[in-house]
Amino acid sequence: MAMQAAFAASMFPQLAQRRGSDRAVVVAPPPPAPARVAMRSGGAAAAAARGVRCRASLIEPDGGRLVELVVPEEGGRREAARREAATLAHRVRLGRVETEWLHVLSEGWASPLRGFMREAEFLQALHFNAIRGGDGAMVNMSVPIVLPLGDAQRRAIEASGARRVALVDAADRPLAVLSDIEIYKHNKEERIARTWGTTAPGLPYVDEAITNAGDWLIGGDLEVIEPIKYNDGLDQYRLSPAQLREEFARRNADAVFAFQLRNPVHNGHALLMTDTRKRLLEMGYKNPVLLLHPLGGFTKADDVPLSWRMKQHEKVLEEGVLNPESTVVAIFPSPMHYAGPTEVQWHAKARINAGANFYIVGRDPAGMGHPTEKRDLYDADHGKKVLSMAPGLEKLNILPFKVAAYDTKQKKMDFFDPSRKDDFLFISGTKMRTLAKNRQSPPDGFMCPGGWKVLVEYYDSLTPSADSSKLREAVAA
Q: Are 51 and 422 in contact (CB under 8 A)?
A: no
Rounded CA separation 329/314 (Å): 9
Q: Provide the sign of the torsion angle of the four alpha carbons 409, 413, 418, 424, taken in this order.
A: positive
Has residue 126 been placed in a domain?
Answer: yes
CATH of the domain at 177: 3.10.400.10
Rounded CA separation 193/466 (Å): 47
Has residue 46 been placed in a domain?
Answer: no
Pairing of strands 148-149, 216-224: antiparallel
> Shortest CA distance to 255 belongs to which of 399, 357, 397?
357
Q: According to the model, what pLDDT value does residue 265 have?
A: 95
Q: Which amino acid is at 29?
A: P
Domain boundary among 192, 224, 256: 224
Q: According to the model, what pLDDT value does residue 429 have?
A: 81
pLDDT in tens, the chain (477 residues): 444 444 344 333 333 333 333 323 233 334 443 332 222 223 333 333 345 444 447 899 999 999 999 999 999 999 999 999 999 999 999 999 999 999 999 999 999 999 999 999 999 999 999 999 888 889 999 999 999 999 999 999 999 999 999 999 999 999 999 999 999 999 999 999 999 999 999 999 999 999 999 999 999 999 999 999 999 999 999 999 999 999 999 999 999 999 998 889 999 999 999 999 999 999 999 999 999 999 999 999 999 999 999 999 999 999 999 999 999 999 999 999 999 999 999 999 999 999 999 999 988 999 999 999 999 999 999 999 999 999 999 999 998 878 899 999 999 999 999 999 999 999 988 899 899 999 999 999 999 999 999 999 999 999 765 443 333 333 323
Pairing of strands 358-361, 255-259: parallel
What are the angstrom distances between the C-alpha of 321 and each of 317, 348, 396, 448, 471? 6, 25, 27, 7, 33
Rounded CA separation 205/199 (Å): 12
Q: According to the model, what pLDDT value does residue 465 have?
A: 53
| Number of domains into which the chain is organized | 2
207 and 280 co-located in one domain: no
- What backbone phi and psi angles, to 5 degrees, belong to 115? 170, 180
170 and 249 co-located in one domain: no
Rounded CA separation 413/435 (Å): 17
SS3 439: coil
Which residue range forms the structural domain that includes residue 218? Answer: 77-224
CA angle 3, 6, 12 (to 5 degrees): 140
SS3 440: coil
**pTM of this structure:** 0.86
379 and 276 co-located in one domain: yes
Domain boundary among 202, 224, 246: 224
CATH of the domain at 307: 3.40.50.620
Q: Which amino acid is at 124?
A: Q
Side-by-side strand order, sheet with 424-425: 412-415, 404-407, 424-425
